[in-house]
Every structure is written in C-alpha cells, then in structure tokens.
Structure 1
C-alpha cells in the first residue's frame, strides 16, 4: 500500500535534516561558508522546503548562523568552544551529583561492563568510534541522574563539540581517558560526591591553550584537500 504523502514528507524532511546536521558536525561545511538552499536541494535531490526547514533547525541548535540571503557555518571560535566546555562541565557535574543519589547498583554495574567492553576496542580504531564510546560512557552517568532535560542538554552539547573531541582524541589518545573513566566510576560506586566531582571536572575540562591547539589542528584538517586528510567522521557527499 502506498504510504500517505504526509508520512513520506516527514521521512524525507528527517533524512535531509540528519544529513545536513552530520555535515555541519563534521565541518564538511567550512567555517564561514555560505550555504545555498538551491545548491543543497539539488545535491540532496529534494525540494527547497525540507532544506530550508533543516537549516533553520541547525541555526537554533548552534551549528549555523544567519547570513545575507541564507546561512553560514559558524566559525571555530576559541571563546565559544570554551563556553561550550564550561557548560558541559556544569551539566555533567550536576548529572554526577544526582547520579550519586539516584543511581541503582545495577546501573553502576552496567556502566562498569560498558567500560570494560569499550576498553577492548583497539586504540587504532576510527576516531569517531572512540569518541562515540566516550560519549556513551558519559551519557550513562546522565541516565543515572534521571533528569531528561539535563540529558537532552548534554546530547546537544556533545554534538556541538564533537569535532573538537575528534581532534583532541587523535592528539591525546585513549589510555589516559580509559583510566580516568575507571577512577570516575569507582568514585561513583563509592558514592563519594567530592571525589566524583573533582575527577569528572578534571577529566572533561580543556584549558584555553588545549582548545587553541585543537582548533588550529582542526582548521588545518578542514582546509587540506579531502583526499589527503578528510575531516574525522566525514561521510561521503549525499547523492
């Protein structure tokens, strides 16, 4: 049976939005690049309406900003990135505070099992996979907090800083991250609020010089020819 037109339109709009959001996250749109509804619609093989709607959502979510006759990819900005990391620290600290009070023993053990499984993933795995595992660990703490709004805010922040985390993961590597995750879980299991907060804050925060370095390396990655150094997590252009 033919699907209702309204359903087809919803599915097409969702697909367009997801594709454009991924391109924005991975900086396939270069910082400051102006985006054309017409060109994007032609590239994706859709009408301009779902493209316009998707671009509007991406402005609201902080990936794009309005420009003359359209939109542009927001620049990689040091102060904005610092602000995002400060917000992430604040949200995750509150999640940890609530998790210590609300997490069940089963949830803590599940997080321990998840960490053990993630540690078996080789450090040579694709960086987007390693960051995905890292985000999964932190989202489990958010789940333990039992606050859907904090979880939603953390998901949004993760997407906006994901490119920087890809670059930082390439530079820092995985061993120290895994050890820090283990220490955080041990403090959570012990229901130690002071230690948990201190370990989590130290683990998440990036200094200004680290952010400047990550942005510098990220911009080099973005502007090199794609065949030499594609952005981490890049997807092939949509047909």
Structure 2
C-alpha cells in the first residue's frame, strides 16, 4: 500500500508542476474531482494539496471555488526585487564555488539554447534550467530553497518575458556574460551581471504589460 504522506506530496507536486508549465494559469478554477481524475489519485490528497497551495498564496478563493492566483503589479515588483537580490547572491557564490564541470554545463546551456529562439515555451523551460544550475552552483542549500520558493511564485505570471520580440536573443547574450564572470571567479561581476539580467527581464515585462493596457483601452 502506498504511503499516504507520499501520495499527498505527489499530488502537491503534480498540481504545482501543472501550474508551472501552464496547464493551469491565473484565474483557472481547480476542481478536486477533475484533478483526482487527471492525476490518478483519490480526492483526499488532492484536497490536502489544494489547502497547502492556498496557504502558500498560490491559489485564491473565488466564492466557494479555488482558482490559480494572479499577481498584482505591486506583488510582481516586490517579487522581482527579491529575485534580483537572491539570484545575484547565487551568482556571486557560484563564482567562488562552482566546479569546472558546472561551468562547462552552464556554457553548453547557453550554446544549446540558441536553437530554441523560435520556441518561447521551450526557451522559458531552458531558462529556468539555466538559472537553477546557477542556484546549485552556489553550493548553498538554504539559498537554493529560498529561490525555489521565488520560482514557485513566478509560475503565477501568465506570460514569459522571453516571448517578447527580441528578448530571447538578448537574454542569451546576458546569460553568456553571467557565465563568463562565474568562470573568471569574479563574484562582483557575476552579481551585477545577473542583477542586470533580471532588471532587463522586468523592464521587458513592464513594457509588455503597458502595451497590453493600451491595446485594451
């Protein structure tokens, strides 16, 4: 018999992944019975997983229903501030602690991701993988845990900035600068390069949101 705690964890992780990859987006309603059928588990672990996600503010109440939460402008700005500082710290630590093998993996990611420029969804997945590799290369488990929480909340953004025209190419060039600083062991440069990278991503998103508001108006 499968451990109940394992089932609860599986249900939580499966729902979280479905939100992360865009199966469920901001405003989408999550129904226990539908989730149980989709993931092949009973309703009890689904219910407990939904309660946990609501506690983490990844789900919100809409009457009696639970929906995937969305981020306000202020919440998004706050998230980017935290992300910028934590990711900058990860890059600084990676410059000190990354192994030669980890640096080579980062370089190969930048090179390989050029083939994904015409596929924003695939590029977004590759981007998360690249950043996760930097987090791991920091060799600081507590920082990695905090960044995992940040990225979990970022799943609530309905679009990726990499889908914006020209942003993918610019982002890969910025990745190259970050890796070069890490490879050189220059913590200050790595910190500044990654913070600049996050700033550019935020600026692109703000510009896109402003254009959307004008179009709707």
Task: Judge same fold: TM > 0.5, yes or no.
Answer: yes
Matched, 1:135 2:151: no
User: TM-score scaled to structure 1, two decimals?
Assistant: 0.72
Structure 2 match to 1:153: 146
Matched, 1:57 2:38: no
Contact 1:76 1:215 in 2 (8 A): no
* d(CA) in 1 for partners of 2:38, 2:113: 37
* d(CA) in 1 for partners of 2:104, 2:34: 49
Contact 2:30 2:65 in 1 (8 A): yes
* d(CA) in 1 for partners of 2:36, 2:99: 48
Matched, 1:100 2:95: yes
**Structure of greater Rg:** 1
Change (3 A) 1:147 1:216: farther
Structure 1 match to 2:11: 16
Moved segments of 4+, more than 4 Å: 9-12, 33-36, 38-46, 66-70, 206-209, 214-217
Contact 1:143 1:151 in 2 (8 A): yes
Q: In structure 1, the residue corresponding to 2:85 is in which secondary structure?
A: helix
Deviation for aligned residue 1:159: 3.0
Deviation for aligned residue 1:118: 2.4
Q: In structure 2, the residue corresponding to 1:174 is in which secondary structure?
A: helix
Change (3 A) 1:27 1:214: farther
Unaligned residue ranges in structure 1 (runs of 5+) = 221-239
What are the Cα deviations for residues 99-144 of structure 1, in whole angstroms up to 9, with x where unaligned?
222222332223212322223x23223x232111111211222112
* d(CA) in 1 for partners of 2:178, 2:39: 43
Q: In structure 2, the residue corresponding to 1:71 is in which secondary structure?
A: strand
**Corresponding pairs, count:** 211
Q: In structure 1, the residue corresponding to 2:66 is in which secondary structure?
A: strand
Contact 1:78 1:208 in 2 (8 A): no
Contact 1:66 1:72 in 2 (8 A): yes
User: TM-score scaled to structure 2, two decimals?
Assistant: 0.79
Contact 2:19 2:155 in 1 (8 A): no
Query: Which of 99, 107, 114 in structure 2 is aligned with 1:112?
Result: 107
